[in-house]
């Protein structure tokens, strides 16, 4: 009887340990960081076109870590983006989101792609005027991205009257000086549209960068030194 009791106790402890391990594993794999929210819920008026979940991006395939076509941001950045979205709606526009939080594994995928200089299948729509070998040197690809800190978003404006994206004089993820916000080789109307997007985002706490008209980071981001790697899913 004693031997059976001991064996039963050992089995109980073992099953409990296995169960705890499974719970920990599930939490690490499937539970996004508690400081993040989905933009579909936090900014319901925004349109989502998550390019790195699709194959229409400069790599030409779905990017590692994008498990669902959704967008995540830190709670603080999402709150500020909601205010920007409300501002857009009052002006007759909606925000269209291309990317938000980006796992570090996605950045690593970009790096591997950039190292393979023979893979140029998406050169025509994204970098026709550049040799792929210079993408690191010119800063288009890097080993870390501000997106992985969870408070950066890539976006444009959508005109509710015309039912189309606003003409920014260039496309998302175009590698070239034409993507610089202050590039003047575009029409006056296109430049004005870029400045309108910048005005809206800056007025709601975001800061732009000099190389990409679509890229904005919350000025007071909550995780300025942390690069997250949990996958993108709801």
Q: Which of 1-10, 53-62, 112-121, 180-189 has the lowest mean pLDDT?
A: 1-10
pLDDT one-digit tens code per residue, 14-46: 333 333 332 222 233 333 578 999 999 999 999
Mean pLDDT (the chain) is 89
Measure the CA–CA gap between 79 and 39, rounded to whole angstroms. 10
Q: Do 52 and 63 contact (CB within 8 A), yes or no? A: yes
pTM confidence score: 0.86
**For 203, what's the count of Cα atoms within 13 Å in the CB-facing half-sphere?**
12
Closest Cα to residue 191, out of 215, 208, 170?
170
Tell me which of 76, 212, 221, 234 is the catalytic residue: 212
pLDDT of residue 164: 97
Closest Cα to residue 94, out of 165, 41, 39, 151?
165
pLDDT of residue 17: 36
pLDDT of residue 33: 78
pLDDT one-digit tens code per residue, 112-143: 999 999 999 999 999 999 999 999 999 999 99
- How many other CB atoms are found less than 10 A from the CB of residue 52? 27
Average pLDDT over residues 90-118: 98
pLDDT of residue 32: 57
Average pLDDT over residues 50-66: 98
Question: Does 222 have pLDDT greater than 60?
Answer: yes
Q: Do 44 and 208 contact (CB within 8 A), yes or no? A: no
Closest Cα to residue 109, out of 62, 174, 68?
62
- Identify whether 76 is a catalytic site residue: no
Q: Do 103 and 64 contact (CB within 8 A), yes or no? A: yes
The percent of residues above 90 in pLDDT, for the chain, comes to 85
Q: Do 152 and 228 contact (CB within 8 A), yes or no? A: no
User: pLDDT higher for 195 or 9?
Assistant: 195
């Amino acid at each position: 009887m004693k031997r059976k009791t001991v064996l039963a106790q050992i089995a109980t402890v073992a099953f409990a340990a296995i169960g705890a391990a499974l719970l920990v594993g599930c939490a690490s794999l499937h539970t996004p960081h508690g400081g993040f929210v989905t933009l579909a819920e936090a900014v319901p008026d925004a349109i989502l076109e998550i390019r790195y979940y699709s194959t229409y991006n400069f790599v030409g395939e779905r990017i590692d870590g994008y498990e669902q076509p959704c967008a995540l941001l830190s709670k603080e950045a999402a709150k500020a983006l909601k205010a920007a979205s409300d501002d857009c709606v009052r002006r007759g526009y909606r925000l269209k989101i291309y990317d938000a939080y980006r796992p570090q594994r996605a950045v690593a995928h970009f790096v591997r792609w950039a190292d393979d200089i023979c893979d140029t299948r998406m050169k025509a729509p994204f970098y026709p005027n550049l040799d792929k070998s210079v993408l690191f040197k010119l800063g288009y690809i890097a080993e870390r991205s501000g997106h992985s800190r969870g408070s950066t978003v890539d976006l444009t404006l959508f005109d509710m009257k015309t039912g189309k994206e606003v003409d920014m004089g260039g496309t998302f993820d175009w590698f070239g000086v034409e993507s610089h916000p202050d590039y003047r080789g575009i029409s006056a109307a296109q430049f004005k549209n870029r400045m309108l997007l910048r005005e809206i985002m800056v007025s709601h706490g975001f800061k732009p960068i000099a190389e990409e008209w679509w890229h904005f980071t919350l000025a007071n981001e909550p995780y300025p030194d942390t690069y997250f790697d949990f996958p993108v899913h709801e």
